[in-house]
Amino acid sequence: EIVLTQSPGSMSLSPGERATLSCRASQSVSNSYLAWYQQKPGQAPRLLIFGASSRASGIPDRFSGSGSGTDFTLTISRLEPEDFAVYYCQQYGSSPPFSFGPGTKVDIK
């Protein structure tokens, strides 16, 4: 089973700043099948990025994903007030069971 590690565990930033979130896999993720989700308190997760770099429908272009193999990055170019949330990476590079990272909390400085 692929284990995902996210760093940092949390970050405090101001609106307008750039956020860079990291996700590292214990082994190579096939086909870069790595997704990112955003979750706000009391809400279900929301798919942001799939295939490491493709934005899901309706996701603003300030969100971008990159990476391959074992190292992946989610970048939020300029934080909007609604972007403060927890972000999870998830791999789906092989047959289930799939795995999530532990999450990175982005809060307001």
Partner 1 sequence: EVLLLESGGGLGQPGGSLRLSCAASGFIFSSYAMTWVRQVPGKGLEYVSTISDNGGSTFYADSVKGRFTISRDNSKSTLYLQMNTLRAEDTAIYYCAKDVGSNYSPWNDWGQGTLVTISS
Instruction: Name the residues that contact partner 1, by CB under 8 A.
Output: 1, 33, 35, 37, 39, 44-47, 50, 56-57, 88, 90, 92, 95-103
Nearer to partner 1, 73 or 93 (CB): 93
Nearer to partner 1, 12 or 30 (CB): 30
Contacting residues for 4 by C-beta, under 8 A, at least 6 apart: 23, 24, 25, 26, 89, 90, 91, 99, 100, 101, 102
CB of 16 to partner 1, least distance (A): 28
Q: How far apart are CA 106 and CA 109, in angstroms?
A: 9
CB of 80 to partner 1, least distance (A): 21
CB 19 within 8 A of CB 84: no
Nearer to partner 1, 8 or 15 (CB): 8
